[in-house]
Amino acid sequence: MRYIDAFNHFFPKRIYELMLQSPAGQKDLGKRMRGIPALYDVEERLRVVDSFPDYTRSFARMGSARQ
C-alpha cells in the first residue's frame, strides 16, 4: 500500500519553540504539538518516514507574501 503524506509539516527547532510560547501554543495547539517530536526533530522525522516502505511526499511551494 502506498502512503502519501500530504501534511508533511516540519518546523526548525527555534520556530517550534516560538510557536509553543505563543498564546495558541499555551493552549490546545501546544498540547497537540508537544506530542509530535517529528515536527521539529529531523532524525525523528526520518525514522518515522523510513518505517513506511512505500512512502511518498506531496510538496506545495509557498510563494512569498506580496505587499
pLDDT given at position 6: 67
**Mean pLDDT for the stretch of residues 18-41:** 85
pTM of this prediction exceeds 0.75: no
The Cα 47–Cα 17 span in angstroms is 22
d(CA 28, CA 30): 5
Residue 63 is predicted with a pLDDT of: 58
The whole-angstrom separation of Cα 9 and Cα 24 is 17
Residue predicted with more confidence, 17 or 4: 17
pLDDT at 65 over 70: no
**Distance (Å, whole) CA 19 – CA 9:** 13
The pLDDT score that the predictor gives to residue 8 is 66
Q: Name the grid cell of 49.
A: 518516514
* Residues 5, 58 contacting (CB under 8 angstroms): yes
Kindly report the number of other CB atoms within 10 A of residue 29's CB atom: 14
